[in-house]
Amino acid sequence: MSEKSLKELNLKLQTLINPSPLQRIRHPLLEQHQVHLSVKRDDLLHGDISGNKWRKLKFNLIEARSSQINHILSFGGAYSNHIHALAAAGFHLGFKTSAVIRGEAAYVSNPTLKQAAAWGMNLQFVTRKEYRQRNESEYLHQLQKQYPDAFIVPEGGSNIFALAGLAEAVQEIQEQSETSVEHIITATGSGGTLAGLISAFKDHKSTTRITGIAVLKNADYLNQSVHSLLQQAAVKSGAPWELKTQFHHGGYAKVSEQLISFCRQFSEQTSIPVEPVYTGKMFYALFQLIKQGYFKKGEHIVALHTGGLQGLNGLKQRGLYPQS
Does 193 help bind ligand PLP (rule: CB under 6 A)? Answer: yes
Does 238 help bind ligand PLP (rule: CB under 6 A)? Answer: no
Q: Which stretch binds ligand PLP (CB under 6 A): 62-70, 182-190, 238-246, 253-261?
A: 182-190
Nearest Cα to Cα of residue 158 among 199, 205, 101: 199
Q: Which stretch binds ligand PLP (CB under 6 A): 90-98, 117-125, 184-192, 259-267?
A: 184-192
Looking at beta carbons only, is 188 or 211 nearer to ligand PLP? 188
Q: Which stretch binds ligand PLP (CB under 6 A): 238-246, 248-256, 290-298, 301-309?
A: 301-309
For residue 158, give every residue at least 6 positions away whose Cβ sits within 8 Å of its Cβ, in sequence order, or none: 56, 190, 191, 192, 193, 195, 225, 229
d(CA 324, CA 12): 35
Residue 61 φ/ψ region, left for φ over 0, alpha for ψ in the -120 to 50 degree band, beta for the rest? alpha
Q: Which stretch binds ligand PLP (CB under 6 A): 97-105, 172-180, 185-193, 234-242?
A: 185-193
Ramachandran angles phi, psi of 223, nearest 5°: -55, -45
Site for ligand PLP in 109-148 (CB under 6 A): none
Q: Quick one: how far is CA 282 from the chain centroid?
A: 12
Looking at beta carbons only, is 22 or 85 nearer to ligand PLP? 85
Question: With 0-12 CB in 10 A as exposed, 13-18 as middle and 19+ as buried, what is 169?
Answer: buried
Does 280 help bind ligand PLP (rule: CB under 6 A)? Answer: no
Residue number closest to ligand PLP, CB atom: 308
Site string for ligand PLP, 146-175 (x = CB under 6 A): ----------x-x-----------------
Among 76, 165, 280, 308, binds ligand PLP (CB under 6 A): 308
Residue 40 φ/ψ region, left for φ over 0, alpha for ψ in the -120 to 50 degree band, beta for the rest? beta
Size of the site for ligand PLP (CB under 6 A): 18
Nearest distance from residue 305's CB to ligand PLP, in Å?
9
Does 50 help bind ligand PLP (rule: CB under 6 A)? Answer: no
Looking at beta carbons only, is 33 or 259 nearer to ligand PLP? 259
Strands across the sheet containing 241-244: 22-25, 36-40, 300-304, 183-188, 209-214, 241-244
Strands across the sheet containing 71-76: 122-126, 96-102, 71-76, 150-152
Among 90, 154, 165, 192, binds ligand PLP (CB under 6 A): 192
Give the other-Cβ count within 10 Å of 221's Cβ.
12
Among 98, 190, 245, 310, binds ligand PLP (CB under 6 A): 190
Nearest distance from residue 233's CB to ligand PLP, in Å?
14
Nearest distance from residue 166's CB to ligand PLP, in Å?
8
For residue 123, give every residue at least 6 positions away whose Cβ sits within 8 Å of its Cβ, in sequence order, or none: 98, 99, 101, 108, 113, 116, 117
Q: Which stretch binds ligand PLP (CB under 6 A): 58-66, 86-94, 186-194, 294-302?
A: 186-194
Q: Is the dihedral of CA 94, 157, 100, 146 positive or negative?
A: positive
| Binding positions for ligand PLP, rule: CB under 6 A | 51-52, 81-82, 156, 158, 187-194, 278, 306-308
